[in-house]
Structure 1
């Protein structure tokens, strides 16, 4: 395999950052751990990103995009709202089972927003809210643009997230 372009290297840094931040959170993750996971030096990392916060923001954006795209791809061409619900729920279950860092990154994002905003830093919250709204819009349109149905989809999904995060089967709430 040839040398990676800066864009490919940047992508590998974002993926490594998602894995690290998902595991140990913003405060618990060092840029050294991210660099080591990618196989680059810290100075190289800082040629790609100005600071740790920029890496975290890129990881948040990518994580939200991954979730939105899973829903979008699953529902593509599905006209029936009930069928769209099922294929999107299945796609999300597949996403978090094959890439559990996606769910963990969401949980870290929510926790980090509160901490950052308590210190007067609104950027993380703005990024997380924008990601959430893009996911909401994708699901909302796929389910026929009914606000109550969309809210129910996310309520079931968040219950599933919570159960998964604490190690219970998703059907434990039934």
Structure 2
């Protein structure tokens, strides 16, 4: 395998490991084991654990942003909101990616609290890039952007907590989007 293919493997493995253990609770040894490389080789690909986490965070947010950009291109704001909302369940179908998203927010908060504001800033910048795309596609309407992003976060939390599709916390959302928890999207269930 080329170094680039190994880097790709590290990013995929890191998403899984960080999703399950968080930033502080995940060792580079666990990531190296999952990829099937030695720790010294891992550090030839990435300078440190922080760089691995940030590469995984970049991948995760780039995938969401890229898919949103693709489906909302040249659409009016209401149509763009619908199109992005329709693909979001597919982006959450992989539970590790969902949980990694949640770990990104925790890692930024912990970094701020522990005196590493640069790390927190880098994670926040990824979120801002996503917010900016959504904001532009929704006609630069702050209220509409906030509502879209807030609903996305609510969905993330309810899925991460594992609420089943028939739980009352989904009632309002499923009333408007009855197929959301059916099929392959969002893991095909509420968690």
Q: Distance in 2 between matches of 1:139 and 1:157?
A: 11
1:173 shift after superposition? 5.1
1:8 is the counterpart of 2:9? no
8 Å contact 1:26–1:56 — kept in the other structure?
Answer: yes
**Residues 8-27 of structure 1 correspond to what in structure 2 (within 5 A)?**
8-27=5-24
Q: Deviations over 1:109-151 (max 9, x none)?
A: 1111121111110122111211111101111111111111111
1:73 is the counterpart of 2:70? yes
Q: RMSD of the TM alignment (CA)? A: 1.6
Q: How many residues align?
A: 169
Partner of 1:172: 170
Partner of 1:147: 142
Partner of 2:56: 59
Unpaired runs of at least 5, structure 1: none
Partner of 2:104: 109
2:92 aligned counterpart, secondary structure: helix
1:161 is the counterpart of 2:156? yes
1:43 is the counterpart of 2:34? no
Q: Distance in 2 between matches of 1:22 and 1:124?
A: 18
Q: Distance in 2 between matches of 1:128 and 1:91?
A: 23
TM-score by length of structure 2 reads 0.83
